[in-house]
Amino acid sequence: MQHDEVIWQVIRHKHCSFMAKIETGIFCRNPYNVTGICNRSSCPLANSRYATIRDHDGVFYLYMKTIERAHMPNKLWERVKLPRNYEKALEIIDKHLMYWPKFLVHKAKQRLTKMTQMRIRMRKLALKTREKIMTTPRKETKRESRRQEKAEKAALLDKSIEKELLERLSKGVYGDIYNVPEQKYQEILAREAEEVASEEEDEEEVEVEYVEGYEDLEEEDDIEDFDGFGIRDNGLDADTGMDDDDDDEEAVTVHRKSGRKDSALARRRAEKDDPSAKAKKKAKVLVEVEHDDTSARQTTVQ
């Protein structure tokens, strides 16, 4: 015959393998304990009638122990599967624990509530993406670093061998007949095409564009720059072919616009008279000089 008070005295004051004493209190490690606290009312060993809630792979079960099955340890606990609906689970607990002590009924419902809340939180956390911190052993990091160094050295060696072989191939060391893998051959062709394209781009950047008639524009700018200065030249006149000493006495005064037209006409006449005038574009330049004291302008040939 089981005597609950004697069992509790032995467990409490002598030895219990499920007891855990810490600074905050005394707890019980027995999986059937309904509260997790080591006391007389919550001890599953010292109570012949006991009820608790347990979880098996996300499914809740109601465990019940009665004194009639105390002589059969393999059939000591009777379990009832609880539905996932919280309200229906409470109804089943009230149905099976109708005539049981109110303390056990209340603690069983309280445990069901806590476990249901824990399952809801677990589902929410499973849906969230969180960072997982993982530690790597020091030996593993050293091994990976050594492997990386070896791989880099092997890559440099392969590149140097490939470069040497290409140089020998270009020099014709291996003769005219040789077999080259198609993939490597295409890679070399693509590399050479890229180099040629880069060289062409550099040449295009350095290339200078020449504009037609640029020399005539320079002559006109030079004429405008010498406005206001008296300039003599030792050359010949465009119309008469005489020296400048004779031209100084017979200078013609013209306006700015008419002077430009006369210069163009003089250049055309000179080209007609001398067939080699086309090769010497800067041989004769008409310069217009305006004095400060008069509004007239002298025309001289340079």
pLDDT band at residue 201 under the 50/70/90 scheme: confident
pLDDT at 186: 78
**How far apart, in Å, do the first and last CA atoms of the chain sit?**
143
Question: Would 194 be classed as within a structural domain?
Answer: no
Question: Would 114 be classed as within a structural domain?
Answer: yes
Mean pLDDT computed over 152-160:
84
Would you say 22 and 54 are in contact if contact means Cβ atoms under 8 Å apart?
no
Identify the residue with better confidence: 300 or 86. 86
Would you say 301 and 236 are in contact if contact means Cβ atoms under 8 Å apart?
yes
Question: Would 272 be classed as within a structural domain?
Answer: yes
| Number of domain units in the chain | 2
pLDDT at 252: 42
- Whether the pLDDT of residue 120 is over 90: the answer is yes
pLDDT at 61: 95
Identify the residue with better confidence: 98 or 255. 98
Question: Would 193 be classed as within a structural domain?
Answer: no
Give the per-residue SS3 of the chain.
CCCHHHHHHHHHHCCCCCEEECCCCEEECCCCCCCCECCCCCCCCCCCCEEEEEEECCEEEEEEECHHHCCCHHHCEEEEECCCCHHHHHHHHHHHCCCCCHHHHHHHHHHHHHHHHHHHHHHHHHHCCCCCCCCCCHHHHHHHHHHHHHHHHHHHHHHHHHHHHHHHHHHCCCCCCCCCCHHHHHHHHHHHHHHHHHHHHHHHHHCCCCCCCHHHHHHHHHHHHCCCCCCCCCCCCCCCCCCHHHHHHCCCCCCHHHHHHHHHHHHHHHHHHCHHHCCCCCCCCEEEEECCCCCCEEEEEC
pLDDT at 263: 58
Identify the residue with better confidence: 215 or 133. 133
pLDDT at 3: 85
14 & 119 share domain: yes
Question: Would 141 be classed as within a structural domain?
Answer: no
Question: Would 177 be classed as within a structural domain?
Answer: no
Of the residues 127, 156, 187, which one is the last residue of a structural domain?
127
122 & 233 share domain: no
Of the residues 79, 109, 127, which one is the last residue of a structural domain?
127
Give the domain CATH number at 26. 3.30.390.110
pLDDT at 238: 43
The chain-wide mean pLDDT, for the chain, equals 75
218 & 119 share domain: no
Question: Would 256 be classed as within a structural domain?
Answer: yes
27-53: burial string, b at 16+ Cβ within 10 Å, e else: bbebebbbeeebeeebbbbbbbebbbb
Question: Would 167 be classed as within a structural domain?
Answer: no
107 & 220 share domain: no
Q: Which domain holds residue 235?
A: 214-301
pLDDT at 190: 84
Of the residues 67, 102, 127, which one is the last residue of a structural domain?
127
d(CA 300, CA 287): 5
- Whether the pLDDT of residue 285 is over 50: the answer is no
Identify the residue with better confidence: 230 or 161. 161
Q: Worst-scoring range by mean pLDDT, 70-79, 116-125, 267-276?
A: 267-276
Q: Worst-scoring range by mean pLDDT, 31-45, 113-127, 139-153, 288-302?
A: 288-302
Segment 293-302, tens digit of pLDDT? 444 444 444 4
pLDDT at 239: 45
